[in-house]
Structure 1
Amino acid sequence: MTFPSRGCRPCKQRRVKVRLKKTTDLSTATKNSANTSSGTATADMVLFKAQKIFTQPSLDASLEDQALTYYTRCYVEGPQDVLEIMDGHTKVVPTSQCYSDPSSVLSLAISAVAHATFARAQRSQFSLAKGYQSYSKALCKTNLALKDPNESKLDDVLLAAMLLSFYENSVVGTTPEPSKRGIGKIASRSFAHHDGAMAMLNLRRQQPRRQENSVELDKLVRRQLVRSLLLRSMPVPPWLRDGAKYGEIGSSLELDRCMVETARLKHRFNTALVESFMPGMAFSKEHFRKCRSLLTEGQALEASLASWADRMSSESCYSTLSVKGEDHFGVGSKLFRGTVHIYPTAGHAGMWNRYRALRLISNDIIARLCTPLIHDAHPTAASIQLDATLQLQSLADDLSLSIPYMLGLVEVGAKQDTTVLKKVPSSLKIAVKASTASFLAWPLAMATMVVGLPNQHRLYLKDRLLDVSDIADDGVLEKIAAGFAPT
């Protein structure tokens, strides 16, 4: 009687003789030869040692089926009645294509991200290895497509690039110590895919005739790319700035324009003045001139954002209710205070929190610009700085009070109720889907960049960012949260 090889499937295919360690699910040879797309293993790639939570798939449900089912339910099937402004490219991911055309570039990308998220959630080395195989094949096919002037403009190739970006986020490992690197380095591999998608988008917009589905995909991808640029403190390229050319209309277009202007202001501040704010640096007349110029731009942006909020209809606004039966709030609690913001839908909450993230950035820049202008005897700098500081406090309050609702931590009763009940779910992954929790990812990541954020908010938002990273299977968010310490 012969016994099957104990090596994992990749080693069997490569005909590598291995010994299987009891504490891991993958052969030692496979892990030793783990490669990234650049050809070398990285310390950031996650390995789940001695955590065999996931067991071998049953006979009636393959690992591929389980991963695709998990990804579809958690990421593709979003919350009901989502506002159009909150739509993203994941809503058009055709997971069924993985069965009808499993070797296509899009199917391989879907398989890669499905296995990566499933592996992180279940601590499955089997799924991690399968995801890496699909990722490698998808990456090769994407690179080949980019060399072809026609294939580089296909919807499937653009969508595959965006999915591979999230694959990179999911396979980023964790370390016990806070990361000393900025988000640009932590998420460099993910951002590289965004840059590739941006180049594809530039080619696609030059096509004379476009199908409706392609135009819609461009709009959804552009939204993610603009948020990516803001995270990196980069300006939006001229050809990408006008959201109207990509289908944005109404209040979505107005907020989009504010987002583009915030990216421009943030980039100008970081490149022109941030070094001047180091302790002991002397300010020249040119620095004072730049500060006054940027302050004017920041105040104009702040006025535009406030005006956008004032024009929101009452149906889109939120209410503030007291939490019944809870007396522990703040650090160590899922609730920030004894009140929470309640919204018509999770989409409304996501929209308001993205708006708050923009205002947190603009007010933080305004407050920092006023510091040197006060020394320059600017007549109103002190009062402007005080207003910006108070606005930061208020915006941080609103962001913090919105999180319990978005994470399913409160139970809302009838409309006439003035209180809500606290919920204690056994797991946040059960209480809320990743597609809903992801609405918090970008606002919380942006909040980490706000220098003037009060420490009580900083500690609370750090813990909630860790919660979101767990729900969304996102290693990049986890590393950002690890470095999000009090100032």
Structure 2
Amino acid sequence: MPKLIQPLRKSNKLESSAMTYPNGGCHTCKIRRIKARSLSSLYGQQLTFHIPKCDETQPTCQRCIKSRRICIRTTAQKANFLIHIENRYASGETKRPRGPRSSLTPAIYFDLQTRAVIYYLNYHLRMPADVQCLPGSVADSIVEWVSGATIPMIDLAISSIALAIFSRTQQNPVAAMEACARYDELLRHAQLMMPTVVETNIDAALLAVFLMSRYEDSAYNAEESLSNAAFNSFTHHDGAISILKIWRHRHPRDRQPATDIVKHSRRGIIRSAILRYLAVPPWLEDGRFFGERGQDLEYDRILVRVANLRNQLMALQQNNSQLKTISCELFQSAQKLKSEAAGLDKALQEWAIQIPSAWHPRRHLVRTDASLPAGYLFSSVIYSYPSIAYAAVWLNYSATRMLLNQAWLRILELIKPFSDESAWNQQMELCRTRIIVTAEDLSSSIPFVLERCKVTNAGEHQTLTIFGTNEEIRPYVASLVAWPLSVASGIGSLHVEQKQWFRTQLALIGRIIGSGVLAGVGAAGLLDL
């Protein structure tokens, strides 16, 4: 129980309430000497104060995470001797010098790279327990490599991305220059050593390519890249395909289980193919060989088919643009794609039905008189979930269905000249409705994932509390909505207001996680899906 500060006595002297810092805790918290402030009860009431303490969480305590400080563990434990030896001043061995005391604990100096790496590992890769259960997370793999064997290429890659993110999120131009220097060194080293690393340790090669891709996304400058439609990170995505192909040929059968890095790399390649209207290579299509199981495997199969559908649609659009009117051959191909899109939408809905009922959202209505900043919420309806991990599953589902129906809409536009007008108008209206409804579900789920609201359980009733803008969005939470927001911001058939809201949220996420690509895409609307 917290101690109570007693009111003033008649002697007008404050009761001494100075509290020594507890023996437990990290070295950083001890240096900061966090104490409860001693205040008098001026109004004749007892005031209760909670003493902030270090929770001693390994490897980083919550107080250091909140203040973004380097958490230094106490290396030596105090011996529990019966005889206590005083310091040389208290024991009388040496006369205490006059004047103000100097700092008894000198500050520990960390160079810029060390601070950036610790900031990146603790603040951007540290996830709560319910988020860690999400499949395909590479955060644990990065932390494992840092704490394990040293590989120069991995060390350079982690230093590069850490400095790049630190420079963006902390507005540190010196870190940006050092990140560029480290990345140049990394490219030279990778050019020489990548074949050897691929031969001896494919996981290390994939992790290095993943980090190099993230560096390109972080260092992206929209003003300098307007003339180039492709992002620099796409080059590293192609490199990851080559490495995965080597891994696949080494394990033609399902004998060697895929690691998390292999699984995550493949998922990133599929998303890259969707953005670039590329087909998924045949040897990469079957997720069973890359660690996909259960419902994840079913969803993976749908996503691969969506990517291939978009690739075939792009080919049809390019062929049709060369003709004044669509040919019969193109019309038949478009009809097949329309049937494929209808089958995929049905399969996606059937997959969603299999999601456990405990994962389903709960609907809340926000009062219209709530004093919130403009654009803080798009809809007066907010969805809450038992876990952020469950919400992330529904966000990805919504993004995939919007992608699919946007492709379906473009297929219908191709076959308009040979279609019955009444039936065609009805199909177009249904397709637009599915996109709008799915986008509303997505916009209603974003506030919960970004921790802008909190649900309090009270028996059968639930209370939804909306937080103000002073609540900071944590990077590992922001990264969960990056892909769904990227997709939503590129859906051209959405209403202008809703699409602008998605773009604004995407730009905000880019600034939080230090991604120049997301910030630029959100601000300029560079994606057209």
TM-score normalised per structure 1: 0.79
Which of 438-447 and 413-422 deviates more? 413-422
1:355 is matched with 397
Asked if 1:133 is matched to 2:181, the reply is: yes
Kindly state the Cα deviation for residue 197 of structure 1 after the two structures are TM-superposed.
1.4
* 2:258 and 2:289 in contact (8 A); partners too: no
Look up the SS of the partner of 2:363 in the other structure.
Answer: strand
Kindly state the Cα deviation for residue 118 of structure 1 after the two structures are TM-superposed.
0.6
Kindly state the Cα deviation for residue 174 of structure 1 after the two structures are TM-superposed.
4.2
1:406 is matched with 449
Kindly state the Cα deviation for residue 444 of structure 1 after the two structures are TM-superposed.
1.5
Kindly state the Cα deviation for residue 327 of structure 1 after the two structures are TM-superposed.
4.1
* 1:357 and 1:446 in contact (8 A); partners too: yes
Look up the SS of the partner of 2:175 in the other structure.
Answer: helix
2:36 is matched with none
Distance 1:272 1:371, change over 3 A: closer
Question: Hey, what's the Cα distance between the residues in 2 that align with 1:310 and 1:277?
Answer: 39
Q: Deviations over 1:36-81 (max 9, x none)?
A: xxxxxxxxxxxxxxxxxx9xxx753332232112111233212321
Distance 1:195 1:486, change over 3 A: closer
1:397 is matched with 440
Which of 349-358 and 394-403 deviates more? 349-358
* 2:489 and 2:500 in contact (8 A); partners too: no
Distance 1:92 1:98, change over 3 A: closer
* 1:356 and 1:399 in contact (8 A); partners too: yes
* 2:136 and 2:261 in contact (8 A); partners too: no
Question: Hey, what's the Cα distance between the residues in 1 that align with 2:514 and 2:482?
Answer: 11
1:173 is matched with 221
Query: What's the RMSD between the two structures over aligned residues?
Result: 3.0
Q: Deviations over 1:290-313 (max 9, x none)?
A: 221110111111111111111111
* 2:363 and 2:382 in contact (8 A); partners too: yes
2:316 is matched with 272
* 1:72 and 1:95 in contact (8 A); partners too: no
1:344 is matched with 386
> Counterpart of 1:469 in structure 2: which amino acid?
G
* Counterpart pick for 1:251 among 295, 303, 306: 295
Kindly state the Cα deviation for residue 85 of structure 1 after the two structures are TM-superposed.
4.6
Q: Deviations over 1:214-261 (max 9, x none)?
A: 633211221122112111111111111111111111110111111101
* Counterpart pick for 1:301 among 335, 341, 344: 344
Look up the SS of the partner of 1:137 in the other structure.
Answer: helix
Asked if 1:218 is matched to 2:289, the reply is: no
> Counterpart of 2:157 in structure 1: which amino acid?
A
* Counterpart pick for 1:62 among 111, 121, 124: 111
TM-score normalised per structure 2: 0.73
* Counterpart pick for 1:158 among 184, 192, 206: 206
More relative contact order, 1 or 2 (CA 8 Å, 6+ apart): 1
> Counterpart of 1:337 in structure 2: which amino acid?
S
Question: Hey, what's the Cα distance between the residues in 2 that align with 1:376 and 1:168?
Answer: 45
Question: Hey, what's the Cα distance between the residues in 2 that align with 1:243 and 1:197?
Answer: 16
Question: Hey, what's the Cα distance between the residues in 1 that align with 2:526 and 2:185?
Answer: 39
Look up the SS of the partner of 2:501 in the other structure.
Answer: helix
> Counterpart of 2:334 in structure 1: which amino acid?
C
Asked if 1:373 is matched to 2:422, the reply is: no
> Counterpart of 1:367 in structure 2: which amino acid?
L
1:89 is matched with 138
> Counterpart of 1:121 in structure 2: which amino acid?
T
> Counterpart of 1:240 in structure 2: which amino acid?
L
Kindly state the Cα deviation for residue 382 of structure 1 after the two structures are TM-superposed.
2.7
Look up the SS of the partner of 1:366 in the other structure.
Answer: helix
> Counterpart of 2:260 in structure 1: which amino acid?
E
Kindly state the Cα deviation for residue 201 of structure 1 after the two structures are TM-superposed.
1.1
Asked if 1:196 is matched to 2:239, the reply is: yes
* Counterpart pick for 1:73 among 122, 132, 141: 122
Look up the SS of the partner of 1:269 in the other structure.
Answer: helix
Kindly state the Cα deviation for residue 283 of structure 1 after the two structures are TM-superposed.
2.1
Question: Hey, what's the Cα distance between the residues in 2 that align with 1:113 and 1:359?
Answer: 32
* 1:323 and 1:421 in contact (8 A); partners too: no
> Counterpart of 1:105 in structure 2: which amino acid?
M
Kindly state the Cα deviation for residue 107 of structure 1 after the two structures are TM-superposed.
1.1
Asked if 1:109 is matched to 2:157, the reply is: yes
Question: Hey, what's the Cα distance between the residues in 2 that align with 1:140 and 1:237?
Answer: 29
Kindly state the Cα deviation for residue 395 of structure 1 after the two structures are TM-superposed.
0.6
Distance 1:96 1:202, change over 3 A: closer
* 1:146 and 1:152 in contact (8 A); partners too: no
2:62 is matched with none
Look up the SS of the partner of 1:148 in the other structure.
Answer: helix
Kindly state the Cα deviation for residue 479 of structure 1 after the two structures are TM-superposed.
1.5
Kindly state the Cα deviation for residue 320 of structure 1 after the two structures are TM-superposed.
1.3
Q: Deviations over 1:361-382 (max 9, x none)?
A: 1111222222343432347433
* 1:410 and 1:421 in contact (8 A); partners too: yes
Question: Hey, what's the Cα distance between the residues in 2 that align with 1:85 and 1:96?
Answer: 20
* 1:88 and 1:223 in contact (8 A); partners too: no
Q: Deviations over 1:2-44 (max 9, x none)?
A: xxxxxxxxxxxxxxxxxxxxxxxxxxxxxxxxxxxxxxxxxxx
Which of 285-294 and 377-386 deviates more? 377-386
* 1:153 and 1:203 in contact (8 A); partners too: no
Higher Rg of the two aligned structures = 2
* 1:119 and 1:125 in contact (8 A); partners too: yes
1:334 is matched with 376
Distance 1:342 1:96, change over 3 A: same
Q: Deviations over 1:428-456 (max 9, x none)?
A: xx3x3222211111112122332212222
Question: Hey, what's the Cα distance between the residues in 1 that align with 2:438 and 2:321?
Answer: 24
2:50 is matched with none
Question: Hey, what's the Cα distance between the residues in 2 that align with 1:180 and 1:290?
Answer: 34
Higher fraction of helix? 1
> Counterpart of 1:156 in structure 2: which amino acid?
A
Question: Hey, what's the Cα distance between the residues in 1 that align with 2:127 and 2:257?
Answer: 19
* Counterpart pick for 1:480 among 498, 502, 521: 521
Distance 1:67 1:417, change over 3 A: farther
Kindly state the Cα deviation for residue 84 of structure 1 after the two structures are TM-superposed.
4.3
Kindly state the Cα deviation for residue 359 of structure 1 after the two structures are TM-superposed.
0.8
* Counterpart pick for 1:433 among 471, 474, 480: 474
**Matching of residues 18-37 of structure 1 within 5 Å:** none
